[in-house]
Amino acid sequence: MFNRTRCLQIAAAVASISLLSGCGLFSDDSGDKAKRIVVGTTSAPSTLDPAAAWDGSWELYRNVYQTLLAFPTGSTKPQPDAAQNCEFTDAANESYRCTLRKGLKFSNGEPLDSKAVKHSLDRIKTINHKFGPAGLFGTLEKIETPDALTVVFHLNTPDATFPYVLGSPAASLVPPKEYPAGKIRDDGAVTGSGPYVLTSYKKDGEAVLGRNETYVGFANRRNDGVTIRYFSDSKKMVAALKGKEIDATYRGLSAAEIKDLQTAASHAQGVQVVENVGAEIRYLVFNPNDPQVAKPAVRQAIAQVIDRGAIVSKVYQGTAEPLYSMVPKGVVGHKTPFFDLYGNANVEKAKKILNGAGITTPVELTFWYTTDRYGASTADEFTEIKRQLDETNLFKVNLRGQPWVAFQEGYKSGQYPVFGRGWFPDFPDPDNFIAPFVGKQNAVGTPYEPPQIMNELLPKSRREGDRSAGVKEFETAQQIFAQDVRLLPLWQGKLYVGAREDIAGAERALDPQTAMQMWELYRKTSW
């Protein structure tokens, strides 16, 4: 039942970024602000249909689709967007009612009414795409539409996090005429009701966004359009930034590139790096269908010898910090169970674990990673992990890399014994660091059904409207994760944006899912 999945963020992740230039004046009335903003990223959409993606595609979705609720800058709880208001109508948190704004339309002229909302969310569960967000709606039993402006969501169990799901791009609203109820739209077009319309799109090339003149919602657009340019190589993206071909970068910068952009030489070229507190995490996933990985002692021994500090210092050069829980530092309920249980890297302890289980060494394993999703540092990270494990003489590690599309197919079909994943927020709640990784259909494609978490801890925490009241449940869940070692947290990263110094608004651009709200970016007026 609690099979909520996907690759979280806390309120702090929408916090301070500064792009102030010493020779600029902020002005919303400047003619310069109408100039198109060009943003580079290494995270291209895997699909344009929100029913088929639970990944970095959300970056685009946030800007072209609308949701009933959203997270305006600075908010830690979902606020109305397409909805005029929403609320639970019962004390048990099992019935949730939303009233829509009047007169809403999609960009093709179709009305955005209660039937369109029902269609949008029903099709996600009906299609149940293997890479889609259906798992986030595990507690949704049925939707009623008593009139054109009223939507009532009936849940099969109490779930105080449901409004947070409705505020995520997983709940993007689409017009029924152009998005079939039982299959994915595949004509390469987008029809939404968000702040922008997609005027042109080239897969793995660029997405050109123009203002949606019929948009009604919370977003205050501070530019007249944005082009998102997709790079497979972060080096080319940095070169484009320095060469004034793009105005800002987001996602995919390596640690070395961040350090380079922070130098005086880069600043002299008109480039700045902005830093933000983040809840982006990296972790390893162990597939129990592999005969070696199925042995708890193998997983525990790996946890015993991984040196997170070395990974952070050698590969990420201070742009990340060691992580000892799937719930990152700064999120309510964060603890350090992996450190408490395994401590610092210790080969002798790992050897004792393996010997005690009668396991012959070295244990040979293949570790997989994606070559084009999380930035150029990923390959270096896995090279360091291999070095650490191989040097113990307890393990022999082979490395394999795949582009994201093929990588997704591989881990979802259970081909990889051990693989690396990254996690970005669905919504700012500790539930989102626990629930997505358990259940038969979870975010990492390897069924994991710890009964205490699924049957006791998550249900109890979701009865609490005050989300901080479930801290004990989340602390216990973290301890179970550490004991089972089905997932092994590695590090928690900061968020970095490289930008031309005439670009403003980045201090407001990141929402709790760490998707960039492009409407906040604009050009400063020169003296």
Residue 513 confidence class, pLDDT cut points 50, 70, 90: low
For the stretch 30-86, pLDDT in tens is 444 457 899 999 889 999 999 999 988 999 999 999 999 998 877 778 999 999 999
Least confident of 171-185, 376-390, 392-406, 494-508: 494-508
Cβ-based neighbours of 25, under 8 Å, separated by 6 or more: 524, 525, 526, 527
Residue 119 confidence class, pLDDT cut points 50, 70, 90: very high
* Mean pLDDT computed over 453-475: 90
The burial class, CB within 10 Å (0-12 / 13-18 / 19+), for 183 is middle
**Maximum C-alpha span of the chain:** 73
Residue 11 confidence class, pLDDT cut points 50, 70, 90: very low
Flag whether pLDDT at 28 surpasses 50: no
* Residue 106, pLDDT score: 98
* Mean pLDDT computed over 327-341: 92
Q: Torsion over CA of 69, 159, 175 and 443, rounded to 10 degrees?
A: 100
* Mean pLDDT computed over 507-512: 72
* Residue 12, pLDDT score: 31
Flag whether pLDDT at 17 surpasses 60: no
Residue 277 confidence class, pLDDT cut points 50, 70, 90: low
Flag whether pLDDT at 23 surpasses 60: no
Mean pLDDT of the chain: 89
* Residue 105, pLDDT score: 98
* Residue 40, pLDDT score: 95
Residue 1 confidence class, pLDDT cut points 50, 70, 90: very low
Instruction: Report the percentage of the chain scoring pLDDT > 70.
Output: 92
* Mean pLDDT computed over 486-513: 85
* Residue 511, pLDDT score: 67
Instruction: Report the percentage of the chain scoring pLDDT > 90.
Output: 72
* Residue 332, pLDDT score: 86
* Residue 13, pLDDT score: 31
Please give the Cα distance from 35 to 154 (Å, whole number): 45
Question: Between 277 and 201, where is the model more confident?
Answer: 201
The burial class, CB within 10 Å (0-12 / 13-18 / 19+), for 86 is buried
Q: Is the pTM of this model over 0.85?
A: no
Q: How far is CA 169 from the centre of its chain?
A: 10
Residue 252 confidence class, pLDDT cut points 50, 70, 90: confident
Whether 179 contacts 123, CB under 8 Å: yes
Whether 478 contacts 327, CB under 8 Å: yes
Least confident of 27-36, 410-419, 466-475: 27-36
Radius of gyration of the chain from Cα atoms?
Answer: 23
